[in-house]
Amino acid sequence: MPAFVKVAFDVPLPEAFTYRSDAFPEAVLGRRVSAPFGRRELTGYVVGELATCDIDEALVKGLSRVVDKEALFDKKSVDLATWMAGMYFCGLGEALAAMLPSGRREPGAAALDAEILEMAEAPLTLSAEQSSALDRITSTPGGIHYLYGITGSGKTEVFLQAAEASLAGGKGVIYLVPEIALTGQVVEAAQRRFGGRCAVIHSRLSPSRKLAEWRRILRGEAQVVIGARSAIFAPLAKLGLIVIDEEHESSYKAGNSPRYHARQVAMRRRGSEGATLVMGSATPSAEAWRLMEEGQVGRLELTKRLSGGALPAIEIVDMRGEDSSISGRLAEAIRDTAKAGGQSILFLNRRGFSYFFRCKSCAAEIRCRHCSVALTYHKDRNALVCHYCGYRIPPPRACPECGSLDVGWAGFGTERVEEEAGRRFPDLKILRLDADSTSRVGELERILQDFREGKADILLGTQMVAKGLNFPRVKTVGVVLADTSLNLPDFRAAERTFSLIVQVAGRAGRFSPDGRVLIQTFRPDSPVIRLAAQSRLAEFYALELSARKDLGFPPFARLVRLVFRSKDKAKASMAAADFAHAASPYLPQDAEILGPAECPLAMVAGTARWQLIFRAPELRDLHRALGLALAEWEAPSGVRLETDVDPASLM
């Protein structure tokens, strides 16, 4: 019986604290406890047991209470959390808090099991390509593979059969999908195949249901865990396989501290637990593409569409000279579709800026001379600003490319598109899907269900809809303005735009070979848009990777981003400058600091945001240097610091 335990709390401190536990023999590793911390009483995680005290015993306090009757995690989870805390510069308890469900045990929580059907559907007979991919996966345990194939090429079936093989070998499976509500078919397929051995974990589950699923995994009742990002932490005793479906999706990166990437955590678990990792997508991330090119990740290609249906024709609509956000051609396609009883989807890009500065004659946009990212127009200050390095210029009077004087800012906001759609199609029913409606539990599902049942003619939504496009009646898909994401001040802008177009087209054509995809753009000649419309993937990746290499962006460099937030703008900018100064002596020679600069999202909820971007060819030395600087540096009062290793977005 341990007399002392180490407890980690959900606070930004790297260490765990020692407590006397002799009054609580049940306070063992893996359980949550309540204990006095400073002047407060906090719930923490028991991460270690000690027979003898490791600090001055006179200073040690006793635990107040043990929360759990069963362990919530094991030693492996503690090891993973320790790695997370080091990698992402967060506290050990913060890492555990991100990994574990937080719910309380409720009597009714286990009712979930009854819903799960105990049926085992037979696997499909694999095509030759699928079967050779599966052979490679099962014959190289511990390997990293990439299933690269267009939408409908049967990746899911290969994942499911690889999962079966893992289970047959007595090992569990984690199957990651980007967003549960939009990947319902995959979840259903897995449940049909694995019945009660399947656990589903996602953010929409109530805390108590999440905890119930978690416990089924801990007890070994569920061996296939399917879920979004956080399912990567599932406490499977023996992990044999990790599947990352739609690997390119940005939702695999956490938006709050610790800002982990599920792919990175998967790599770590593969290494420490000897699991096989299989990723898959029709549009791999640039990082993954490079790993395949270098042979570090095995490429398994599926070239045939098993779902039937050809890829639809993709039309590029030149928006130069258009006044409306919905061009004549798109409007006509929507009307024809509705007349024939079909449905249309319009994609907006809400994440993007509504406004950017461009030449109305040649569509050139103004880029930073130092960073080559698009400058953002600030109307209030009448300035074009680079949000990487802080470079700013007054808006030019003439286009630097063609000399035209017809330059200015433009853009289509969501509201404007919705309003115009309503005006243009007064007789058609429009459903709208946006971040607000999707934050309410069940709302997203309801809207998608209504649309699937034909209760509306047009669905207006952000790119998130692209993932779940399984609407048999959809004949027309319009991307309202591809440039919105292309012009983002982010080095991944081209990659995201490309992938959006290819994904939208692939899914749209799944059910309707006669389907149409229209891409509206002010830059019809942009290679990104052209190559996407023609599905010329290899050429796009070659072009994109060479640009990244020239500019020194990932995957040819690693970035760490620090954001300094404060109600007081001057404080935020001064703290950023101060940290840059403090960190400089530690940095390796080949590292550089971009900034301080205002974040592209300069104000969020009344809080000013300034950033530093650290860049180096390799992460190791840069990471170590920042660890030292962060440990030493103290944020001034009123300033909060966010750290982001390998940031997915620089907004």
Residue ranges binding ligand ADP (CB under 6 A): 124-127, 130, 149, 151-157, 306-307
647 binds, among Zn ion, ligand ADP, none (CB under 5 to 8 A by kind): none
Given 83, 391, 409, 586, the residue binding Zn ion (CB under 5 A): 391
Contact yes or no for 515/477 (Cβ under 8 A): yes
Site string for Zn ion, 319-358 (x = CB under 5 A): ----------------------------------------
Near Zn ion by CB under 5 A, which window of 174-182, 390-398, 455-463, 513-521? 390-398
Residue 293, judged by CB atoms within 10 A of its CB (0-12, 13-18, 19+), counts as middle
Nearer to ligand ADP, 8 or 277 (CB): 277
Query: Minimal distance in Å, beta carbon 133 to ligand ADP?
Result: 11
Nearer to ligand ADP, 177 or 557 (CB): 177
Phi/psi at 318 (5° precision): -75, 115
Residue 423, judged by CB atoms within 10 A of its CB (0-12, 13-18, 19+), counts as exposed
Interface with Zn ion: number of residues (CB under 5 A): 15
Nearer to ligand ADP, 7 or 147 (CB): 147
151 binds, among Zn ion, ligand ADP, none (CB under 5 to 8 A by kind): ligand ADP
402 binds, among ligand ADP, Zn ion, none (CB under 5 to 8 A by kind): Zn ion
Nearer to ligand ADP, 131 or 296 (CB): 131
152 binds, among ligand ADP, Zn ion, none (CB under 5 to 8 A by kind): ligand ADP
| Distance from C-alpha of 14 to C-alpha of 86, rounded to nearest angstrom | 8
Nearer to ligand ADP, 125 or 139 (CB): 125
| Distance from C-alpha of 429 to C-alpha of 425, rounded to nearest angstrom | 8
SS3 content of the chain, % helix, strand, coil (to 5): 35, 25, 40
Query: Minimal distance in Å, beta carbon 277 to ligand ADP?
Result: 17
Nearer to ligand ADP, 146 or 356 (CB): 146
Contacts (CB under 5 A) with Zn ion, residues 357-376: 359, 361-362, 364, 368, 370-371
Query: Minimal distance in Å, beta carbon 188 to ligand ADP?
Result: 12
598 binds, among ligand ADP, Zn ion, none (CB under 5 to 8 A by kind): none
| Distance from C-alpha of 504 to C-alpha of 348, rounded to nearest angstrom | 12
User: Which of 479, 542, 484, 471 lies closest to 505, judged by CA?
Assistant: 479
Residue 589, judged by CB atoms within 10 A of its CB (0-12, 13-18, 19+), counts as exposed
Query: Minimal distance in Å, beta carbon 128 to ligand ADP?
Result: 10
Nearer to Zn ion, 92 or 399 (CB): 399
Query: Minimal distance in Å, beta carbon 616 to Zn ion?
Result: 18
| Distance from C-alpha of 312 to C-alpha of 474, rounded to nearest angstrom | 12
Please say whether the dihedral angle defined by the alpha carbons of residues 48, 53, 56 and 57, taken in this order, is positive or negative. Answer: positive
359 binds, among ligand ADP, Zn ion, none (CB under 5 to 8 A by kind): Zn ion
Helix axes 92-99, 75-87, angle to 10 degrees: 120
Nearer to ligand ADP, 160 or 622 (CB): 160
212 binds, among ligand ADP, Zn ion, none (CB under 5 to 8 A by kind): none
Tell me the residue nearest to ligand ADP as measured from the CB: 156
User: Which of 372, 358, 371 lies closest to 400, judged by CA?
Assistant: 358
3-class state of residue 365 by DSSP: strand
Scanning 514-602, the segments in alpha helix (DSSP H) are 527-533, 537-551, 569-583
| 262 Cβ contact list (under 8 Å, min separation 6) | 176, 229, 230, 232, 244, 252, 253
391 binds, among ligand ADP, Zn ion, none (CB under 5 to 8 A by kind): Zn ion
| Distance from C-alpha of 216 to C-alpha of 189, rounded to nearest angstrom | 20
User: Which of 182, 181, 184, 185 lies closest to 157, judged by CA?
Assistant: 185
389 binds, among Zn ion, ligand ADP, none (CB under 5 to 8 A by kind): Zn ion
Query: Minimal distance in Å, beta carbon 466 to ligand ADP?
Result: 13
Contacts (CB under 5 A) with Zn ion, residues 398-417: 399, 401-402, 404
595 binds, among ligand ADP, Zn ion, none (CB under 5 to 8 A by kind): none
144 binds, among Zn ion, ligand ADP, none (CB under 5 to 8 A by kind): none
Nearer to Zn ion, 2 or 411 (CB): 411
| Distance from C-alpha of 608 to C-alpha of 573, rounded to nearest angstrom | 9
Query: Minimal distance in Å, beta carbon 193 to ligand ADP?
Result: 12
Q: Which helix (H) or strand (E) holds 607?
A: strand 607-616
Q: What 8-state DSSP symbol labels residue 16?
A: -
Contacts (CB under 5 A) with Zn ion, residues 168-227: none
Distances (CA, A) of 606 to 319, 489, 566, 570, 603: 36, 22, 9, 13, 6
Q: Which helix (H) or strand (E) holds 483?
A: helix 483-486
Query: Minimal distance in Å, beta carbon 6 to ligand ADP?
Result: 44
Q: How far apart are the first and last CA of the chain?
A: 51
155 binds, among ligand ADP, Zn ion, none (CB under 5 to 8 A by kind): ligand ADP
Nearer to ligand ADP, 307 or 404 (CB): 307
Scanning 294-370, the segments in alpha helix (DSSP H) are 328-339
Nearer to Zn ion, 354 or 372 (CB): 372
Helix axes 262-273, 75-87, angle to 10 degrees: 130
Nearer to ligand ADP, 179 or 644 (CB): 179
Nearer to ligand ADP, 307 or 584 (CB): 307
Residues forming the site for Zn ion (CB under 5 A): 359, 361-362, 364, 368, 370-371, 386, 388-389, 391, 399, 401-402, 404
